[in-house]
Amino acid sequence: MTKIKNMEEFAALSGISRPTVSKYFHDPDSVRPTTRARIEEALERFDYRPNIYAVNQNRKLTKNIGIVVPYLADPFFAEIARYLEQSCIAAGYRPSLFSSHGEQKLENEILDGLQSLKPAGVLLAPLGRTSDRSTIEKFCANVPTILFDSNLDGLGAAFVGSDNFSFVSQTVEYMTRTGEPPSFFEMRTPANPNANKRRKAYVDVMERLGFEPHIIKVDGTGWAFEEIGHRGALKVLQERGLKTDSVLCSNDRLAIGFLAACFEQGIRVGRKEDCSLRVASNDDHPFAKFTCPSLTTAAHDYDNVAGRSVETLFELIESGGKFSTRTETLFPARLVLRDSA
């Protein structure tokens, strides 16, 4: 099989002129069925594909879409990223996936590098509190961007995420209805803005129900939430710092650590007779089903968050990269009852 160097050569071999071939690659339906057939026939014989760099150089609007998540080693983001990627591909775009790995510097570098990719649009889940606001602001001014998961006030053309109040109110109400109102277990200085909204929601809901909120704050920074939850739980359990027999963790990864600590300390968790503690959480992490006991949690509406994010981005791209107003779309949680509470 001959090696084809460029479109010129391929056009000659297929017996069609180069501009028409170019038109075909831009949109196969834009040429006459007979010529399309001839091109595709040649395509099978010769295995040619346009040079992506030459193509994108001349298009002011590429088919690239950037997907940026704060921490890809977190299966939660890996799952969302998977959905986003596949939606982009289905819509004919080329997604590029990036992880900030929890570091501001890397997030900035990614956004920097993304600009030279001239993406048609970007789906960005920022680090949150540790994001460099000014860098993101500049980036959003140059590239059509949808924020998801973590909201940064006013940045990006729109935000799509989960309704943290819905998460916490459902778990708190369930635990209260079926037993004692829970304490709230969280990191002292969470990077993710959702964590702050969850704490506020917890306080709100507790007060509305006429209970006094108890918040347990554990030390630790970074993204090793299981480790942080584990250490923090051991400390609390040993100091007998729990004022209630039920605990609501800010997120599932902390809860995984919490449950591991309980197990080590011989504390039985669940709603059965012989259990002394109930633990619930938020997110419905992919592994929440396999904790011991399995984790009762408020589940993200993964499909809708991801689906609406890409829909919104496509609308944004078609609107020329600007919306008249910035919208914020929040999806409610779905309570998943398992064995831990």
Partner DNA sequence: ATAAAAACTTTACGCGCGTTAAAAAGTTAA
Partner DNA sequence: TTAACTTTTTAACGCGCGTAAAGTTTTTAT
- Of a second copy, DNA, none, which one sits near residue 26, judging by CB under 5 to 8 A according to partner kind? DNA
Neighbours of 26 (CB within 10 A): 12
Whether residue 295 contacts residue 226, with contact meaning beta carbons closer than 8 Å, is answered with no
Report residue 118 as tokens: 């001239």
Q: How far is the CB of 97 from a second copy (least distance, A)?
A: 5
Residue 288 CA to residue 311 CA, distance in Å, equals 28
Q: Does 81 engage in binding with a second copy (CB under 8 A)?
A: yes
DSSP annotation of 150 reads: S
Q: Does 230 engage in binding with a second copy (CB under 8 A)?
A: yes
Nearer to a second copy, 111 or 201 (CB): 111
Report residue 65 as tokens: 């879409």
Judged by CB under 8 A, which stretch of 24-32, 34-42, 110-118, 178-186 contacts a second copy? 110-118
Binding mask 31-70 for DNA (x = CB under 7 A): xx-xxx-------------xx--xx-xxx-----------
Classify strands 296-299 and 334-336 as parallel, antiparallel or unpaired: antiparallel
* Residue 246, strand partner residues: 278
Whether residue 143 contacts residue 120, with contact meaning beta carbons closer than 8 Å, is answered with no
Q: Does 124 engage in binding with a second copy (CB under 8 A)?
A: no
- Of DNA, a second copy, none, which one sits near residue 222, judging by CB under 5 to 8 A according to partner kind? none
Nearer to a second copy, 49 or 243 (CB): 49
Structure-token match 């609308």, residue found: 315
- Please work out, in degrees rounded to the nearest 5, the angle formed at the alpha carbon of residue 207 by the alpha carbons of 203 and 211: 105
Chain positions 61 to 80 lying near a second copy, rule: CB under 8 A, are: 72-75, 78-79
Judged by CB under 7 A, which stretch of 25-33, 121-129, 273-281, 306-314 contacts DNA? 25-33
Nearer to DNA, 35 or 304 (CB): 35
Q: How far is the CB of 332 from a second copy (least distance, A)?
A: 24
Based on the number of CB atoms within 10 Å of its own CB, is 261 exposed (0-12), middle (13-18) or buried (19 or more)? buried
The helix/strand/coil state of 126 is coil
Residue 149 CA to residue 193 CA, distance in Å, equals 9
Distance (Å) of CA 234 to CA 44, 87, 117, 181, 264:
63, 42, 47, 21, 9
Site residue total, a second copy (CB under 8 A): 49
Binding site for a second copy (CB under 8 A): 49-54, 56-57, 72-75, 78-79, 81-82, 85-86, 89, 94, 96-99, 101, 109, 113, 115-118, 226-227, 230, 256-257, 259-260, 263-264, 286-287, 289-294, 339
Binding site for DNA (CB under 7 A): 5-8, 15-20, 22-23, 25-26, 30-32, 34-36, 50-51, 54-55, 57-59
